Amino acid sequence: MNVLIAGAGIGGLTTALSLHAAGIDDVTLYESVSEIRPLGVGINLLPHAVRELTELGLGDELAELGVATSTLSYFNRHGQQIWTEPRGRAAGYHWPQYSVHRGRLQLLLRDAVLERLGADAIRLGSPVGDARSEGGRTSVAVVGGPDAGTRVTADVVIGADGIHSALRRQQYPDEGAPVWNGLILWRGTARVRPYLDGLTMIMAGDAMQKFVAYPLSAVGDDGLQTVNFIAEYRSEDPEPGASDWNRGADPSAVLGRFADWDFGWLDVPAVISAADEILEYPMVDRDPVERWTFGSQTLLGDAAHAMYPIGSNGASQAIIDARTLAFQVGTVDSIDDALGAYEAERRPRTTALTLSNRSMGPEQVMQLAYERAPGGFGDIELVVPYAERAEIANRYKQAAGFVPELLNERASLTVPVPADD
Ligand SMILES: Cc1cc2nc3c(=O)[nH]c(=O)nc-3n(C[C@H](O)[C@H](O)[C@H](O)COP(=O)(O)OP(=O)(O)OC[C@H]3O[C@@H](n4cnc5c(N)ncnc54)[C@H](O)[C@@H]3O)c2cc1C
């Protein structure tokens, strides 16, 4: 069986590694950029995704690359704590939760693909489009680069080509641009003194304005660590800017919005001021669709279910898609049945998550605290009782598939490959 994957992002690369682990070696990735550079800033890998990468044999590399998150805490815009919970191993998972640099994770996955599948497995500078399924196989057109104008045929074609997916657009030509919720995200990294225990992810604010921070490195000899931040605010503009992950922003505009957000335990303006560069991105997603699979082609990752970066699930869900797809392809006899089972497992779950993220997912507690006590509170228990806060946190873990006991006990998605005689 040969498989063609459109896009060598986190989803596409993990799919290639997962198929290889399931015994399928004839896998080629077509990637539009001519060089994979460590772009982006931080992302989070939740324990369900860390489990999958660990079972792909990347646990040690991941531990070197990432910072194991100890705690997740929510605060209001005055720095008062609304909710806190342990994360990763501290919460009883068998796997940690990591904050990692997105681009470095992509390079780690790329190197593993080249090592395991061979130097020709990734065709750079080769955007693809126009996928046509016929007679049980699918051909795609290479639409740029040295092979532009040729068509490539494969038994299975996977569209892992991100939020602006060409393969999705072909099936949903009237879909248009991603859907914007009016929020602008300013993303950056800064070398600053550690806050709290130096391993905690924090979110402060509400649906109008929010600041997220998490460490991306250990504390250095200079007493500083790299902290990733996302400053969000609700824009008055009627239209979003381009949803391009690498668009720069004016730091003074960001600072102006957060000038009085010094909580004592975290000085938000100081973090923003220390940023090397700030990137701007509108908070966009895609409406869930009713079908991913068309003949022997399907969609995966952001191409299938781009969601708001709420609850830290974008990259994690792409990784779980990849492992689920490879498990089905590696264990089910017919390709139609395998792709059908993959979609039946993943589409309802990611649809529910996309919709949950639209109503703030686990961050709903922040909005409730704001609506009930906009000026701050003396005792959070009198504003949003513990049972209500815990219910919101647990419901999201259920939807996203990372309830500790369920994840720890769930059967592995590794396909048993018979040993050679
Ligand atoms: C440059 C970049 C920076 C990012 N930075 C962040 C960040 O800082 N924080 C965050 O939360 N998320 C970021 N993301 C998104 C995040 O990586 C994804 O939400 C998540 O990892 C799911 O990955 P994916 O593989 O489905 O999509 P993506 O990571 O978007 O990967 C899609 C890949 O497909 C390629 N591609 C696109 N069109 C074609 C085509 N027609 N043919 C072939 N290849 C194609 C793209 O170049 C890309 O490599 C970034 C994505 C990109 C591409």
Domain CATH code at residue 170: 3.50.50.60
- Among protein residues, the one with the nearest Cα to ligand 1's atom 3 is 40
C-alpha closest to that of 235 among 253, 247, 251: 253
Cα distance between residue 96 and residue 118, in whole Å: 30
CB 213 within 8 A of CB 226: no
By alpha-carbon position, which residue is closest to atom 11 of ligand 1? 43
**pLDDT of 159-188, one tens digit each?**
999 999 999 999 999 999 999 989 999 999
Taking CB atoms and a 6 Å cutoff, what residues make up the pocket around ligand 1? 6-12, 30-33, 39-41, 43, 102, 127-129, 160-162, 166, 187, 245-246, 301-302, 309, 314-315, 318
Ligand 1 centroid from CA 369, angstroms = 34
CB 275 within 8 A of CB 258: no
Asked whether residue 318 is domain-assigned, the answer is yes
Kindly give the distance from the C-alpha atom of residue 119 to the centroid of ligand 1, in angstroms, as a whole number: 21
Domain-embedded: residue 113: yes
In this structure, is residue 115 part of a structural domain? yes
Q: What is the pLDDT of residue 2?
A: 96
Taking the C-alpha atoms of 42, 47, 51 and 57 in order, what is their torsion angle to the nearest 10 degrees? 30
d(CA 59, CA 117): 19
CA of 162 to the centre of ligand 1 (A): 5
* CA gap 95, 254 in Å, rounded: 36
Whole-number average pLDDT of the chain: 94
Q: Which atom of ligand 1 is nearest to the CA of 129?
A: 41
Per-residue confidence (pLDDT) for residue 37, from 0 to 100? 87
pLDDT tens digits along 384-400: 999 999 999 999 999 88
Q: Does 163 map to a domain? A: yes
Q: Give me the number of domains the chain comprises.
A: 1
Going from the Cα of 167 to the center of ligand 1, the distance in angstroms, rounded, reads 14
> Helices 10-21 and 314-331 sit at what angle, rounded to 10 degrees?
30
Is the sign of the CA dihedral 348, 349, 350, 356 positive or negative?
A: positive
CA of 80 to the centre of ligand 1 (A): 35
* Local confidence pLDDT in tens for the 421 residues of the chain: 999 999 999 999 999 999 999 999 999 999 999 999 888 789 999 999 999 999 999 999 999 999 999 999 999 999 999 999 999 999 999 999 999 999 999 999 999 999 999 999 999 999 999 999 888 999 999 999 999 999 999 999 999 999 999 999 999 999 999 999 899 999 999 999 999 999 999 999 998 999 999 999 999 999 999 999 999 998 877 777 777 777 888 888 889 899 999 999 999 999 999 998 899 989 999 999 999 999 999 999 999 999 998 888 899 999 999 999 999 999 999 999 999 999 999 999 999 999 988 988 899 999 999 999 999 999 999 999 999 999 999 999 998 888 999 999 999 999 987 766 5
pLDDT value, residue 250: 83
Does residue 161 belong to any structural domain of this protein?
yes
- Atom of ligand 1 at shortest distance to CA of 301? 26
* Contact between 9 and 113 (Cβ < 8 Å): no
225-276 pLDDT, tens digit each:
999 999 999 887 777 777 777 788 888 888 989 999 999 999 999 999 999 8
At position 394, the amino acid (one-letter code) is N
- Atom of ligand 1 at shortest distance to CA of 36? 49
Q: Which of 13, 17, 293 is nearest to 131 (CA)?
A: 293
Closest atom, ligand 1, to C-alpha of 304: 26
Percent helix / strand / coil, the chain, rounded to 5: 35, 25, 35
Q: Are 366 and 211 in contact (CB under 8 A)?
A: no
Q: Could you give the strand order of the β-sheet that contains 67-68, starting from the edge strand earlier in sequence?
A: 42-45, 98-101, 67-68
29, part of any domain: yes
**Share of residues in the chain with pLDDT > 90 (%):** 84
Residue with the smallest CA separation from ligand 1 atom 35 is: 7
* The pairing of beta strand 2-6 with beta strand 26-30: parallel
Please identify which residue in the block is written with the tokens 């494969």.
Answer: 154
408 within a domain of the structure (yes/no): no
Between the CA of residue 57 and those of 110, 382, 414, what are the distances in Å?
14, 47, 11
pLDDT in tens, 290-306: 999 999 999 999 999 99
Flag whether 283 is in a domain: no
Of all atoms in ligand 1, which is nearest to the CA of residue 166? 41
Domain that holds residue 136: 3-39+104-177+288-359
